[in-house]
Structure 1
Amino acid sequence: MATHSDTIKRGRKFDQVLEGARTIFMRDGFEGASVDDIAREASVSKATLYSYFPDKRLLFGQVSETECRRQADEAFEVLDMDAPPKEVLVEAAWRMVSFITSDFGIAVFKICIAESGRFPNLGQQFYDSGPKLVRERIVVYLKEATKRGELNITDFNFAAEQFLELTKTYIHPRILCGVQLTFSHAELAKIVHGSVEMFLARYGRDLD
């Protein structure tokens, strides 16, 4: 079976097309984004755009995957894997809430949810390049910290999922329901530090 990557041609203007598409998708959503607007924003012809992406679904999937991987890489490449759990988890939690509340994070999640019924592969693509990738990187740290005797974890995947869900406390339901889209530093700090404290109360080890 062909995958989305089998149908996408890469070339000189590939990144240019992605950046233009990202701008339009975030502004207009999946359904509202027109090929004409994307081509205009990317400064390419419609023929060039179609030569890279035969349909809009593939283009959105690539935009979502590229941006999620970029943000995941930026979020975790600077974390010190040798640092104590509280320090690493606080930093990771800050990066999570920053992504969740960013314009891109809000828009792409809403688009994937809205279109998952018609295009289930979009949701899978977003999950694989976003939440799943972040979970896998959290697992790497949890294993190292447990090996050092700083944490007491046996089910690393489940513990990572718990930590990531804690970072969504309060903010995610409000965002998805459109009740609140911006949050104060104090609100986010409460979630960050509360998430880490609760996680360490369950999995931390008293090393004093």
Structure 2
Amino acid sequence: MRFVSDGYAAARIEPIARSAGVSTATLYTFFPSKVALFEAVIETAAKDFYDRVGPLLNTEAPDRSILTDYLIRYTEFLSDSFVRKMFRLIVAERPRFNTQAVDFFDRGRGDIAHTLIAMFETMSANGLIKTEKPSWAVSQLLGMIEHPVLLLPLASGKDPIQARSARAIAEDAVETFWARYGA
């Protein structure tokens, strides 16, 4: 992906079209500008996450195993090298695409948080957990995942070799969460 490898400013439409196996004119038929193409790339990255976690959202009775599965998929998504490169790119291009960057982060994080809040409310009503403020519990849980998997790599500018797998990070976060909030 040229945007990831070259950055937005240096990415040119002609090589992108060649990589896609189409003419520049054909590419412009689908994406009238480089901005539109970049926005489509961002939207595709967001859709990829929803495809990964979507099947978990259709449960009416979430429990610890469903929470763990959801967080493993979320952690695996954030651990993906391409996804981290996309996050870096969006952060780097925020001055140019502030509205899209804010929407990407707020919508993604908001959707994840709202899903977890709903899970926690159901789990609390079912007597599985005890939490007065589900939103606080969600922030704590997501922080245990996002800090080592996303924030540190973004801050360092490189993908560190993980001492723990995405699965282990998610499972440890759930274990810590359950120790605090489990009924």
TM-score bucket (shorter structure): 0.7 to 0.9
My pick for the range that moved more, 73-82 or 94-103, is 73-82
Q: Distance in 1 between matches of 2:140 and 2:20?
A: 40
Secondary structure class of the residue paired with 1:198: helix
Q: TM-score with structure 1 length normalisation?
A: 0.74
| C-alpha separation in 2, matches of 1:81 and 1:150 | 14
Runs (5+) with no aligned partner, structure 2? none
Structure 2 residue aligned with 1:5: none
SS in 2 for 1:192: helix
Partner in structure 1 of residue 76 of structure 2: 98
> Partners in 1 of 2:136 and 2:52 — Cα distance?
23
Aligned AA (1:34): R
Q: Which runs of 5+ in 1 are unaligned?
A: 1-22
CA contact (8 A) 2:113 2:135 kept: yes
Distance 1:97 1:182, change over 3 A: farther
CA contact (8 A) 1:101 1:181 kept: no
Q: Which residue of 2 aligns with 1:72?
A: 50
Q: Distance in 2 between matches of 1:107 and 1:180?
A: 9
TM-score normalised to structure 2 length = 0.82
Query: CA–CA distance in 2 between the matches of 1:142 and 1:197?
Result: 15
* Matching residue of 1:162: 140
Cα distance change, pair 175–137 in 1 and its aligned pair in 2 (3 A): same
Q: RMSD in angstroms over aligned alpha carbons?
A: 2.4
Match of 1:110 in 2: 88
Q: 2:169 aligns with which of 169, 191, 196?
A: 191
Q: 2:160 aligns with which of 181, 185, 188?
A: 181
